[in-house]
């Protein structure tokens, strides 16, 4: 069977080779009608553009790279739990890339690797991406930003936090999200509320904790030091934090967890201790990945717009927009389910 070429696409669409090339390469002077005709012909014939030829014919590589944190991702994959963060990021970015004729490549970087920045240089040099999507904690690593700036590679930063204004920044209001969760519990009558913080390597951990403290202070409530447990975003870390909170003589009546895995760990330990959720303990989670809606009870949660943030990052890079200092703040949702109630 002969391979389908750009000439076949032009004949099917009834347009010139140059017109097909402009559509494929997102060139200028392309009307919606022309784009629709060419894409319909591409879909009908099953034409796949030759990426190498496209790269030789212009300055674009039609490739975006997403850098994700290596060890937490591999740890979850090895345990058979997958990574909902990665899944949601790909859900947002990949369809946008596909629609514009781009490819998306996921690269795992170890934030504690001694030669991390040399690794970034090697990836960028060999693949020549049109842009890089940085996820935390890499999105807050100034040295990585320096390397990308030096090579003039555009980048978009997800949940970077901090005061570094470089690149495209796509955020959720993490502080307010934590405050909303806290106010919900206070409104139900809870006063002794625990908080499971995430890894200190991630800027969002401190921002969420600050939002919790702010809401408590605004309500005239104090936070006992033993009610804040710092750890990782993992299930195992959640188990340790849950053990510490439930061992307290005056245990909390409600807990906010900084990740779904922490919250599920808290739910497990509450069951082990004979504490019914929400009758004896209310529980709120962050992220709202699929497992929390399937738990018993289903968890009240902050729904993080990870997919929408990744889609926005890909769009900004594909469109070639120059960073202008704008912080793209996408809305979160607060989903109330069966894990929160008035204290018993």
Supply the range of the domain harboring residue 243. Answer: 174-304
Q: What is the pLDDT of residues 141-154, one digit of tens each?
A: 998 999 899 989 99
Position 148 in a domain: yes
Q: Look up the CATH number of the domain holding residue 32.
A: 1.10.260.40
Question: Same domain, yes or no, for 89 and 131?
Answer: yes
Position 57 in a domain: no
Question: Same domain, yes or no, for 179 and 298?
Answer: yes
Question: Same domain, yes or no, for 132 and 199?
Answer: no
Domain count, the chain: 3
Q: What is the pLDDT of residues 85-125, one digit of tens each?
A: 788 888 999 999 988 888 999 998 886 777 777 888 888 88
Position 272 in a domain: yes
Position 190 in a domain: yes
Q: Give the predicted TM-score (pTM) of the model.
A: 0.80
Rounded mean pLDDT, 159-169: 88
Rounded mean pLDDT, 189-193: 97
Give the per-residue SS3 of the chain: CCCCCHHHHHHHHCCCHHHHHHHHCCCCCCCHHHHHHHHHHHHHHCCCCCHHHHHHHCCCCCEEEEEEEHHHHHHHHHCCCCCHHHHHHHHHHHHHHHHCCCEEEEEEECCCCCCHHHHHHHHHHHHCCCEEEECCCHHHCHHHHHHHHHCCCCEEEECCCCCCCCCEEEECCHHHHHHHHHHHHHHHCCCCEEEEECCCCCHHHHHHHHHHHHHHHHCCCCCCHHHEEECCCCHHHHHHHHHHHHCCCCCCCEEEECCHHHHHHHHHHHHHCCCCCCCCCEEEEEECCHHHHHCCCCCEEEECCHHHHHHHHHHHHHHCCCCCCCEEECCCEEECCCCCCCCC
């Amino acid at each position: 069977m002969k391979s389908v070429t750009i000439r076949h696409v032009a004949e099917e669409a009834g347009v010139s080779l140059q017109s097909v090339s402009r559509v494929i390469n997102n060139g200028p002077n392309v009307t919606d009608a022309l784009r629709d005709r060419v894409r319909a012909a591409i879909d009908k014939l099953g034409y796949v553009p030759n990426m190498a030829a496209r790269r030789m014919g212009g300055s674009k590589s039609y490739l975006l790279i997403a850098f994700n944190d290596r060890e937490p991702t591999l740890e979850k994959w090895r345990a058979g739990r997958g990574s909902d963060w990665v899944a949601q990021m790909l859900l947002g970015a990949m369809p946008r890339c596909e629609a514009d004729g781009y490819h998306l490549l996921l690269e795992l970087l170890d934030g504690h690797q001694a030669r991390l920045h040399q690794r970034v240089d090697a990836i960028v040099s060999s693949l020549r991406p049109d842009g890089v999507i940085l996820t935390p904690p890499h999105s807050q690593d100034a040295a990585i930003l320096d390397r990308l700036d030096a090579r003039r590679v555009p980048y978009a930063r997800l949940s970077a936090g901090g005061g570094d204004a470089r690149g495209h920044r796509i955020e959720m209001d993490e502080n307010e999200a934590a405050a909303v969760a806290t106010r919900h519990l206070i409104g139900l009558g809870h006063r002794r509320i625990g908080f499971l913080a995430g890894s200190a390597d991630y800027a969002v951990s401190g921002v969420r904790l600050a939002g919790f403290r702010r809401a408590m202070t605004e309500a005239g409530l104090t936070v006992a030091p033993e009610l804040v447990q710092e750890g990782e975003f993992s299930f195992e870390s959640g188990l340790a934090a849950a053990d510490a909170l439930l061992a307290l003589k005056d245990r909390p009546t409600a807990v906010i967890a900084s990740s779904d895995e922490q919250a599920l760990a808290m739910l497990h330990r509450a069951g082990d201790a004979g504490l019914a959720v929400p009758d004896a303990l209310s529980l709120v989670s962050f992220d709202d990945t699929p497992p929390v809606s399937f738990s018993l009870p289903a968890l009240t949660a902050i729904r993080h717009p990870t997919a929408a943030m990744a889609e926005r990052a890909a769009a900004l890079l594909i469109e070639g927009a120059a960073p202008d200092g704008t912080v793209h703040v996408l809305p979160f949702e607060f989903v109330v389910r069966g894990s929160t109630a008035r204290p018993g």
